[in-house]
Amino acid sequence: MTRVAVVGSGIGGLTAAIALRARGHEVDVYDQAGELSEIGAGVSLGGNGMRVLDALGLGKAVREASSNLHRIQFHHWRTGEIFHEHPMGDWYEQRFGGPFLGIHRADFHQVLLTAFDGEPHLGRRCVAVHESATGAGLEFADGSGAEADVVVGADGLRSTVRHHVNDTDEAVFAAMSCFRGLVPVDRVPGGDTFGLTFFLGPGRHLVAYPVRGGELINFVAYVPDPEWTLESWSARCEPAEAVAAFAGWSPTVTALLAGAEETGRWALYDREPLRRWSTERVTLLGDAAHPMLPHAGQGTNQAIEDAAALAHFLGQPDGLHRYEQARKARTRQIQLGSRTNATCFQVPDGPPAEERNARLAGLPQMVGWIHEYDVYANLTGNDS
């Protein structure tokens, strides 16, 4: 049995804690938050992430808290006309081995907290990590500390643990920001028919899908914006700012953006792929290891895959480095591909948009290598 300290009680950290406990390890989770509140909006879960959640016994609870995204639709930004549609639902599950779901981050977090069956240590902002031949230690801002055999940094984009593993790295600004919010479905014309819904326009786009069993529509609206540089999940703005940024768009878009009671806004950053994720007793997971832009919809799913791989290798000889090697190439490819996707969505109207729209007809096949991935099958060849 290994004593593990997980820094960060988000989706990646809690999934890792659950997976590690299932393997017989002793796990404590530490988080800087003073309390766990209902933060964030929606996240999407693909077949690759659901395969892990099913294996951990969480699939039923996640499905009950989610909305099945039964189709994908692409709409013209001004007219709202659908120019391409593809079934998801049963087709997706048969093709990729699991459902494609939209879930409120808070609902997902509650499923994980229930499965963890314990309380994270709150109010513990990690400020330093130390390690020796016999263990690893954490220092917290309140003067307290913790000891473990292994430390897992699941502390997100601005990870303190990453700075222990690597030299300080700089954030890469995408020169974009996004508006994000949740809207009751009855405020959105046609909202009760939404699956995974895109509105694509000149230089900007909006993605929307149902969460919480279809009660709410989650939206993320992307705009080119070199001026808004605030890298914060908690930044807020007036819904009118989002409406103004999409002036002239379809009435459905306007109603969606205007219907949010609270709108978040933040600048989009990622980091360059890391040279290494691990030392002898410290490793990274999720955004702490491979922060990526949201344009592949894989940040959450890749953290879940990381958790499965880490639990598989921990306790084996050189387990942390083998975990890193099993994960690094895949996450790097998705991380860099998310940047490419960002530029794809920023084209102007006219022939560039028409060319992009024609390519979107093949989207389910183009992303098949991501969604069909079975992390467990890809770990067996690395066993000792």
For each of the chain's 384 residues, which pLDDT tens digit applies?
899 999 999 999 999 999 999 999 999 999 998 887 666 689 999 999 999 999 999 999 999 999 999 999 999 999 999 999 999 999 999 999 999 999 999 999 999 999 998 889 999 999 999 999 999 999 999 999 999 999 999 999 889 999 999 876 778 888 899 999 999 999 999 999 999 999 999 999 999 999 999 999 999 999 998 877 666 656 788 999 999 999 999 999 999 999 999 999 988 888 889 999 999 999 999 999 999 999 889 999 999 999 999 999 999 999 999 999 999 999 999 999 998 887 777 788 888 888 888 888 888 788 999 999 999 999 975 554
**Terminal C-alpha separation, the chain:** 18
Question: 3-class DSSP state for residue 172?
Answer: strand
In whole angstroms, what is the distance from residue 313 CA to residue 285 CA? 13
Taking Cα atoms as reference points, which of 255, 293, 291, 253 lies closest to residue 273?
291
> Residue 152 and residue 14: Cα distance in Å, rounded?
11
Q: Cα–Cα distances in Å, from 205 out to 22, 179, 199, 216, 345? A: 41, 11, 6, 20, 7
pLDDT at residue 363 in the model? 81
What's the pLDDT at 344? 76
SS3 content of the chain, % helix, strand, coil (to 5): 40, 25, 35
- Give the Cα separation of 96 and 102 in Å (integer): 16
Give catalytic residue positions.
209
pLDDT score recorded for residue 350: 87
How far is Cα 28 from Cα 36, in angstroms, rounded to an integer? Answer: 16
pLDDT at residue number 233:
58
The pLDDT of residue 354 is 86
pTM for the whole structure: 0.95
Please answer whether residues 268 and 178 qualify as being in contact, where contact means their C-beta atoms are separated by less than 8 angstroms. Answer: yes
| H-helix or E-strand spanning residue 310 | helix 299-313
> Which residue type occupies 69?
L
pLDDT score, position 382: 56
Amino acid, single-letter form, for residue 78: R
Strand bridging mode 150-153 / 282-284: parallel
CB–CB of 56/226 below 8 Å?
no
Both tokens of 129, joined, read 């990590």
